[in-house]
């Protein structure tokens, strides 16, 4: 019997042990009226226990208030709410607003960093930022120029700031951060510029650098112990990364960390994914290119890696592995096991034991995925845990300058960074997806610091036999590795999902609709068109006993880069401009927070 069938029903949220975590932050995380992290909780479930808005009354939602951010680029992430204060962020220049919910969302303070606009062209796929985090009375912002800033939550005064990278080398940031215990964990962007990427821990009070772990390179730089760090249950061995790169290519190897972080206080491990290897031309970097495209489990105090699992060895398609790791507790063979579920860009949904890194499930979450037949789940096989690649869809099948056609999914993946949600009431994952395929033609490229290091031309289009639809919003049964239900969308669903105790799941569409669906059936219960396309993540909070739902709208991101940056060449935006050209018929630029509630 395949391991997927051994996952018993009865999934629940990962149980946190506050003693090992930041107790003040845990107090806020355990209060469903607030939102202290972009991920809602450390487990990245994006589940709210609020149920005042539910499946029977959500149809009555009305706009309560709106707020213009003053920025016309892609708005990812969501606001935070701590007590009576809401904190709203913007894309570059990364303005932060503190709004008083007791007084008609009055602006209490505004932080507007002075960043060099030369950072904009170095950012891969729009000037997005995935949002703020709260900890110990501070709002933490990681700016586009890699400056990490701690702001006093009451006054907006800068507590400390530290520079995490160098935009002149192609290092930027689009991600949120993870406050854990007395540290804040941050990543880095720049895979399209040949950056050797890393995660870094800074002291939460002072901003002093505590440790840094690279995605590839020597063991000491990666914070990997050759004998104690494991991959699929076996020690990785000495020079596990160096042996999979030719010469010094690891120094420009990518493996960036611009996605989401999760944390298990009980195991005291943090989890995240590393991105694509550089360059996009696979012929130029023979080998598995470890540890790009990898799920990492690290000790947050020391940064030491406990285990790694590489999903797409020697990536040929830009299937970044940075998507969120969702932590749940389920039964396997009748025993409780701590699990990690990850919906990868490569189109496979993975479930692993998050304590050991044991691979339990790897199934396609879009049936059109064709670049690999399956992930080998035979533990006795030499290729156990590896995808079995279809030679027709290899992008180096005949060397450079060969256009491989009909590859599914496209480089932006069956799911990009837009986070999924999990409900313990239904034991289902709710996944925003891209139903998109591509043609991919590599070409030789030379590395120059601070210059694009891509080496491929792409074109994107709807998957075959999808009647022009480029997205689906699905419910995923992690027990059997199957789609429970699927709602087709005209464009990719680039918004993060939110599941609630009211049996409602929310998400947004690229045309600008906020949608609410029944968590059990997927039936649409409510929709409202906001002023611009939605690539932000739906959030909910409670104020004075009343539940609200908030969403940032502002089209952009990779899918909306054509609109956001005014691009018209179909191959621009790494192939996305042509694929999403019709989006301009439905929405336009914007930057607005829309907040909904039920009528009195």
What pLDDT, on a 0 to 100 scale, did the predictor assign at position 15?
Answer: 43
Identify the three-state secondary structure at position 383: coil
Is the pLDDT at 30 greater than 60, yes or no? yes
Per residue, the 3-state secondary structure of 179-192, as one string, reads: EECCEEEECCECHH
The pLDDT confidence band at residue 20, using thresholds 50, 70 and 90, is: low
Give the mean model confidence (pLDDT) for residues 540-552.
98
pLDDT at 418 over 60: yes
Known active-site residue 318: yes
Residue 194 has what pLDDT?
96
Per-residue pLDDT, 12: 46
Rounded to whole angstroms, the Cα distance separating 27 from 565 reads 41
C-alpha–C-alpha distance, residues 366 and 346, integer Å: 10
Q: What is the CA radius of gyration of the chain?
A: 22
- 333: alpha, beta or left? (left if phi > 0; alpha if psi -120 to 50): left
CB 197 within 8 A of CB 256: yes
Place of tokens 């050759």: 226
**pLDDT bucket at 335, cuts 50 / 70 / 90:** confident
Query: Given pLDDT bands bounded at 50, 70 and 90, which one contains residue 5?
Result: very low
What phi and psi, each to the nearest 5 degrees, are found at residue 365? -105, 10
pLDDT at 175 over 60: yes
**Distance of alpha carbon 126 from alpha carbon 128, whole angstroms:** 6
Residue 6 reports pLDDT greater than 50: no
Q: Is 129 annotated as a binding residue?
A: no
- Measure Cα distances from 297 to 256, 304, 363, 386 in Å: 15, 9, 22, 19
Average pLDDT rounded to a whole number, residues 108-135: 95
Q: How far, in whole angstroms, is CA 91 from its chain's centroid?
A: 16
User: Is the pLDDT confidence value at 322 over 90?
Assistant: yes
- The structure tokens listed for 345 are 């860009």
Q: What are phi and psi of 507, to 5 degrees?
A: -160, 170
Q: What are the b/e assignments for 379-394, b being 16+ CB within 10 Å?
A: eeeeeebbbebeeebb
| Of residues 28, 100, 110, the one with CA closest to residue 65 | 100
What's the pLDDT at 19?
41
pLDDT for the residue numbered 48: 98
Q: Looking up tokens 């009865």, which residue turns up?
A: 10
- 227 assigned to a ligand binding site: no
Q: Check the annotation: does 276 bind a ligand.
A: yes
Per-residue pLDDT for 170 more than 60? yes
pLDDT of 14 strictly over 50: no
> Does 285 show up as a binding residue in the annotation?
no
Q: What is the pLDDT of residue 572?
A: 85
pTM over 0.85: yes
pLDDT exceeds 90 at position 357: yes
| Domains of the chain, CATH where assigned | 25-597 (2.140.10.10)
pLDDT in tens, 558-584: 898 888 888 888 888 888 888 899 999
Query: DSSP label at 101?
Result: G
pLDDT score for 329: 93
Task: Give the helix/strand (H/E) hosting 564.
Answer: helix 561-565
- Provide the pLDDT confidence category of residue 101 given band limits of 50, 70 and 90: very high
Alpha-carbon torsion (350, 431, 463, 553), positive or negative: negative
- Residue whose C-alpha is closest to residue 326's, from 397, 260, 230, 232: 260
Distant-in-sequence, close-in-space partners of 485: CB < 8 Å, separation ≥ 6: 474, 475, 521, 522
Q: How far is CA 541 from CA 35, 85, 130, 503, 544, in A?
A: 7, 11, 19, 16, 10
Residues 340, 303: Cα–Cα separation, whole Å:
19
Q: Is 76 annotated as belonging to a binding site?
A: yes
Q: Which of 129, 93, 127 lies closest to 110, judged by CA?
A: 93
Q: Is the dihedral of CA 208, 213, 217, 218 positive or negative?
A: positive
Contact between 15 and 266 under an 8 Å Cβ cutoff? The reply is yes
pLDDT over 90, % of the chain: 88
Give the pLDDT band (50/70/90) at residue 11. very low
pLDDT digits (tens, 9 = 90+) for 89-98: 999 999 999 9
Which is the catalytic residue, given 126, 264, 318, 329? Answer: 318
Coil, strand or helix: which one is 64? strand
pLDDT in tens, 224-260: 999 999 999 999 999 999 999 999 999 999 999 999 9
302 carries a ligand binding annotation = no
């Amino acid at each position: 019997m395949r391991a997927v069938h051994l996952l018993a029903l009865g999934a629940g949220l990962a149980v946190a042990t506050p003693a090992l975590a930041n107790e003040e932050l845990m107090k806020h995380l355990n209060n469903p009226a607030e939102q202290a992290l972009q991920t809602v909780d450390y487990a990245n479930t994006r589940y709210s226990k609020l149920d005042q808005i539910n499946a029977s009354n959500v149809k009555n939602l009305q706009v309560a208030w709106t707020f213009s951010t003053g920025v016309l680029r892609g708005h990812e992430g969501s606001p935070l709410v701590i007590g009576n204060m809401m904190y709203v962020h913007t894309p570059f220049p990364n303005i932060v607003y503190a709004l008083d919910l007791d007084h008609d969302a009055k602006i209490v303070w505004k932080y507007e960093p002075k960043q060099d606009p030369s950072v904009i062209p170095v950012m891969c796929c729009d000037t997005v930022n995935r949002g703020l985090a709260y900890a110990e009375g501070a709002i933490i912002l990681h700016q586009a120029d890699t400056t990490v800033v701690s702001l006093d939550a009451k006054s907006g005064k800068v507590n400390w700031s530290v520079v995490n990278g160098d935009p002149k080398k192609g290092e930027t940031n689009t991600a949120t951060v993870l406050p854990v215990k007395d540290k804040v964990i941050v990543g880095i962007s720049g895979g399209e510029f040949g950056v050797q990427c890393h995660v870094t821990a800074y002291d939460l009070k002072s901003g002093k650098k505590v440790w840094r772990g690279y995605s590839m390179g020597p063991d000491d730089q990666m914070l990997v112990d050759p004998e104690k760090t494991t991959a699929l249950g076996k020690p990785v061995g000495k020079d596990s990364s160096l042996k999979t790169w030719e010469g010094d290519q690891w120094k420009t190897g990518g493996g960036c960390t611009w996605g989401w972080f999760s944390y298990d206080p009980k195991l005291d491990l943090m989890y995240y994914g590393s991105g694509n290897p550089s360059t996009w031309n696979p012929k130029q970097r023979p080998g598995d290119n470890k540890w790009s495209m990898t799920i990492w489990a690290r000790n947050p105090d020391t940064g030491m890696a406990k285990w790694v699992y590489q999903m797409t060895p020697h990536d040929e398609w830009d299937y970044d592995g940075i998507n969120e790791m969702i932590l749940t507790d389920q039964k396997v063979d009748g025993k409780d096991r701590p699990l990690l579920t990850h919906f990868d860009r490569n189109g496979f949904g993975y479930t692993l034991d998050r304590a050991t890194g044991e691979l339990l499930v790897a199934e396609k979450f879009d049936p059109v995925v064709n670049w690999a037949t399956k992930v080998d789940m035979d533990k006795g096989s030499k290729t156990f845990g590896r995808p079995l690649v279809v030679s027709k869809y290899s992008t180096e099948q005949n060397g450079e300058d060969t256009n491989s056609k009909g590859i599914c999914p496209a480089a932006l993946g069956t799911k990009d960074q837009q986070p999924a949600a999990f409900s313990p009431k239904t034991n289902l994952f709710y996944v925003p997806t891209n139903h998109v395929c591509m043609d991919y033609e590599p070409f030789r490229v030379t590395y120059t610091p601070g210059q694009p290091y891509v080496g491929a031309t792409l074109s994107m289009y709807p998957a075959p036999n999808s009647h022009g639809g480029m997205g689906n919003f699905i419910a995923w049964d992690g027990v059997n590795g199957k789609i429970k239900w699927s709602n087709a969308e005209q464009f990719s669903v680039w918004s993060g999902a939110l599941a609630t105790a009211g049996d409602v799941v929310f998400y947004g569409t690229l045309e600008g609709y906020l949608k609410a669906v029944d968590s059990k059936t997927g039936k649409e219960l409510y929709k409202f068109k906001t002023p611009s396309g939605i690539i932000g993540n739906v959030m909910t909070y409670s104020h004075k006993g009343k539940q609200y739902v908030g969403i940032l709208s502002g089209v952009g991101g990779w899918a909306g880069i054509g609109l956001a940056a005014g691009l018209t060449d179909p191959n621009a935006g790494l192939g996305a401009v042509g694929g999403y050209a019709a989006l301009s018929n439905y929405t336009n630029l914007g930057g607005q927070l829309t907040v909904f509630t039920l009528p009195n």
